[in-house]
């Protein structure tokens, strides 16, 4: 599923870049060409982010690490609360 979404995003980025190129080529004034270049910035940044971002394995490992860290913190808090509950009784 993720591969399909990634391909769909790359296609959308390519369409946006093609539209910006079309505006740049057919622009008559410098202002139109500048706006076309600005229009191309966001798709370029999105493509770089998708290409250079963390892989699926890295995201999975980071998520598992966070879960393990939260579980250990929860156990520590339960120990503290258990000890303080015994002291108050």
List pLDDT tens digits, range 11-29: 999 999 999 999 889 888 8
Is 90 exceeded by the pLDDT of residue 69? yes
Query: Which pTM value belongs to this model?
Result: 0.56
In 3D, which of 1, 42, 39 has the Cα closest to residue 19? Answer: 39
Same domain, 49 and 60: no
Range of the domain at 64: 54-89
Q: Calculate the average pLDDT of the chain.
A: 85
Same domain, 47 and 80: no
Same domain, 39 and 61: no
Same domain, 7 and 17: yes
Same domain, 49 and 63: no
The total domain count for the chain is: 2
In contact, 40 and 21? CB cutoff 8 Å: yes
Same domain, 14 and 40: yes
Same domain, 65 and 47: no
């Amino acid at each position: 599923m993720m591969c399909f979404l990634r391909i769909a995003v790359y296609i959308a980025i390519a369409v946006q870049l093609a539209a910006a190129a079309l505006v740049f080529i057919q622009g008559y004034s410098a202002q139109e060409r500048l706006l076309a270049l600005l229009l191309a910035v966001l798709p370029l940044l999105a493509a770089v982010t998708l290409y250079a971002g963390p892989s699926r394995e890295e995201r999975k490992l980071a998520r598992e690490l966070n879960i393990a860290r939260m579980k250990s913190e929860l156990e520590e808090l339960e120990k503290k609360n258990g000890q303080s509950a015994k002291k108050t009784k």
